[in-house]
Every structure is written in C-alpha cells, then in structure tokens.
C-alpha cells in the first residue's frame, strides 16, 4: 500500500488520546492536528459568525460521544469576541 503524501514522516505520539489526528504538511513541515483542536476552532468560528450556528443538539451529541469539554470550547469562542484588556 502506498504511503499517503500527507502522512508525517514519523508516527504520532503514543500518548495521544485523540480519536482522530489529521496528518498535515506545508512546504517545510509535517505535523498533525487533533480533532479536538479543530473542534475548538469550529466553536470560535461559530461564535464569531464565520460559520452558521450549529444546532445545540449537535454540540450535545459531540459532547456525549467523546466526553469532550464542549461547553468550555463554546465559552472560549464567546470570550474571543471580547475586546482585549489594556
């Protein structure tokens, strides 16, 4: 089987508890990004209005399926809207 052109050159860390890691590569680096990071980014994008609102039931299903801190991600997304403190 041929290796994916996006596969990192070394295997991901064995300490990772993620259900999914995305193997990525730019012009200079190979790296992985866990699904939890992407979900946190989705929460921020939703709070900023870049993505349309996802149904509350969807967030609850994600939280229940993975036992992830969805409420914290969403709170962080809302906090990202606050102006920076001087």
Look at residue 4 in the predicted model and tell me its pLDDT: 42
List the domain boundaries for the chain: 21-79
Is residue 17 scored above 90 in pLDDT? no
Give per-residue pLDDT as tens, 24-62: 899 999 988 888 888 888 888 888 889 999 998 988 888
66 is written with which tokens?
A: 């993975």
What is the per-residue pLDDT for 16?
Answer: 64
Nearest-angstrom CA–CA distance, 12 and 8: 8
Measured between alpha carbons, how far is 79 from 66 in angstroms, rounded to an integer?
A: 23
**pLDDT tens string 58-78:** 888 888 887 777 777 777 666
Strands 21-25 and 30-34, by their bridges, are antiparallel
Supply the pLDDT for residue 51.
Answer: 92
């Amino acid at each position: 089987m041929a290796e994916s052109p996006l596969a990192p050159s070394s295997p991901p860390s064995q300490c990772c508890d993620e259900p999914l890691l995305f193997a990525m590569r730019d012009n200079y680096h190979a790296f992985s990004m866990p699904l939890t990071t992407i979900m946190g980014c989705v929460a921020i994008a939703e709070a900023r209005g870049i993505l349309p609102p996802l149904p509350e039931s969807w967030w609850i299903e994600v939280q229940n399926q993975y036992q992830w801190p969805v409420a914290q991600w969403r709170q962080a997304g809302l906090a990202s809207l606050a102006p920076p403190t001087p």
